Amino acid sequence: MSASPLAAAHAAPLAGPARHHRGGHRTGVTLAPSRAARSVARAASPLDDVRAGDLISLDFGEDDNAKETRRLIAREWLLEVTETMETPASVRGICRGRAFVLDGTSMRLTPAPEPSQPDLASEPWVRRAYPEWHALLKRLEVDGRYPAPTATAIAAALPNGGVVARGGVTKITSYDELKARVAAEPGFWRDGTPPRAPPMTVHDHATLNAGEILATLRGHRGVVMCQLWAGWEDADDDARADVHVVQPVDAPFVTRALRDAAVDALTDGSIGIRCVPIAGMDPAKGLTALVHASKSPFAERAEHLASFGAQAALVAGSPYYQLLVGRILGYETRNIEAHVAEKGGVLTAAIVAEVAKDLAALVPGNAPPTTPWRDAFAPSFDYLVADDEDAAVRVFESAVVGDE
């Protein structure tokens, strides 16, 4: 990975003319201000060029040394914009799984009202396509483990009182731009980590799992894993209170990609979804989604992953399983070999032969998997459902549609 896959995306402080938005989506029409409005035109806001669907980084003037002590996912304050409002200039979005409002005048980030906070446990797409996850979230709510941390706790931990520093709004990418990049150049999200690759940047890491899911929905991968719940991340009260402990599913665009996968599975049927706990353990210890092509041999390979409780955020424990999982996920051979070596293992000829034999036995006589297995994305949630209650009933058997 000699260059960041997001290098082509905008990465400069934002500024520009204000545009009107309705319901969090661009209307395609710029409204001319009235005569009175023109006479008292407001000053340009750093948020004028921000659009629904953008991922922006917010700099609160925090010391770089403090950031370096945290995991990559928590080193920056990233906001997945869900809605923009012109009067007053502000944006609403998701940061670490919670909803916030960024005021374009004061540039202060504050929690959105509680009724508008995301609640995945109440989402019909979660209930229909990820029933085991839905049941787990309902139980975790009762136990006080979800959501954690709260938006209020996150806001209290923001540096500089939650006020963004001057020039501190930077666009990283957008959901549409990420989809386009995955479709055109899928290698970063398909092939695994190359040998001697430079350290991953915060921005690459932020959208890695979402891009992997999108690569599967586009047909460039046959199977992908996503950690829906990492029980080890909230093993005690201190961990639950730490705003820098982020569940993997709360990384930018991950729930949006999972929602598109749900729509794909429930309408087109070309996508299959399995929710898998750690073998022999309570799903509260760990739960992973396997999103896969429904066609053979990808479906059989996903089923095999499920049979031994593979988890997205846990490293397979032996060279055999590391090779097996890497093959099923479609990683390049040299990248799998580098991963095994990094973990201190060795791939012997016997291990390689055993993995090949076991994979062949899943679908006897079938040809090896080939990608891309389809040549376009299926219609997304925003295209098929959005705010249409009738469409929601058709897809989810419920008219309740969330906006996380």
Please write the tens of the pLDDT for every residue from 194-214. Answer: 999 999 999 999 999 999 999
Q: What is the pLDDT of residue 392?
A: 84
**What residues contact 226, with CB distance under 8 A and at least 6 apart?**
209, 212, 213, 248, 249, 254, 258, 288, 289, 291, 312
Q: Is the pLDDT of residue 166 over 60?
A: yes
DSSP bridge partners of 79: 56
Whole-structure pTM over 0.85, yes or no? yes
Tokens for 248?
């993997």
Residue among 374, 184, 173 at smallest CA distance from 264: 374
Q: Is the pLDDT of residue 30 over 60?
A: no
Q: Is the pLDDT of residue 403 over 80?
A: no
The pLDDT-based confidence of 238 (bands split at 50, 70, 90) is: low
The pLDDT-based confidence of 19 (bands split at 50, 70, 90) is: very low
The pLDDT-based confidence of 12 (bands split at 50, 70, 90) is: very low
Average pLDDT for residues 378-394, to the nearest whole number?
Answer: 88
Please write the tens of the pLDDT for every residue from 33-83. Answer: 343 433 345 557 889 999 999 999 999 999 888 888 899 999 999 999 999
Q: Is the pLDDT of residue 9 over 60?
A: no
DSSP bridge partners of 163: 108
With a pLDDT cut of 70, the percent of the chain lying above it is: 86
Q: Is the pLDDT of residue 170 over 60?
A: yes
Average pLDDT for residues 327-355, to the nearest whole number?
Answer: 95
The pLDDT-based confidence of 402 (bands split at 50, 70, 90) is: very low
Q: What is the pLDDT of residue 31?
A: 34
Sheet harboring 271-277: ordered strands across?
Answer: 223-230, 286-293, 271-277
The pLDDT-based confidence of 396 (bands split at 50, 70, 90) is: confident
Residue among 105, 120, 235 at smallest CA distance from 164: 105
Average pLDDT for residues 149-165, to the nearest whole number?
Answer: 95
With a pLDDT cut of 90, the percent of the chain lying above it is: 72
Q: What is the pLDDT of residue 241?
A: 64
**What residues contact 312, with CB distance under 8 A and at least 6 apart?**
209, 225, 226, 227, 248, 288, 289
Whole-number mean pLDDT of the chain? 87
Q: How many residues are recorded in the chain?
A: 404
The pLDDT-based confidence of 399 (bands split at 50, 70, 90) is: low
| Three-state secondary structure string covering the chain | CCCCCCCCCCCCECCCCCCCEECCEECCCCCCCCHHHHHCCCCCCCCCCCCCCEEEEECCCCCHHHHHCCCHHHCCEEEEEEEEECCCCEEEEEECCEEEEEECCCCEEEECCHHHCCCHHHCHHHHHHCHHHHHHHHHHHHHCCCCCCCHHHHHHHCHHHHECCCCCEEEEEEHHHHHHHHHHCCHHHHCCCCCCCCCCCHHHHHCHHHHHHHHHHHCCCCEEEEEEEEHHHHCCHHHHHCCCCCCHHHCCCHHHHHHHHHHHHHHCCCEEEEEEECCCCCHHHEEEEEEEECCCCHHHHHHHHHHCCCCCCCCCCCHHHHHHHHHHCCCCHHHHHHHHHHCCCCCCHHHHHHHHHHHHHHCCCCCCCCCCCCCCCCCCHHHHCCCCHHHHHHHHCCCCCCCC
What is the C-alpha separation between 240 and 235, in angstroms, rounded?
8
Q: What is the pLDDT of residue 10?
A: 43
Average pLDDT for residues 120-129, to the nearest whole number?
Answer: 94
Average pLDDT for residues 360-372, to the nearest whole number?
Answer: 88
Q: Is the pLDDT of residue 11 over 80?
A: no
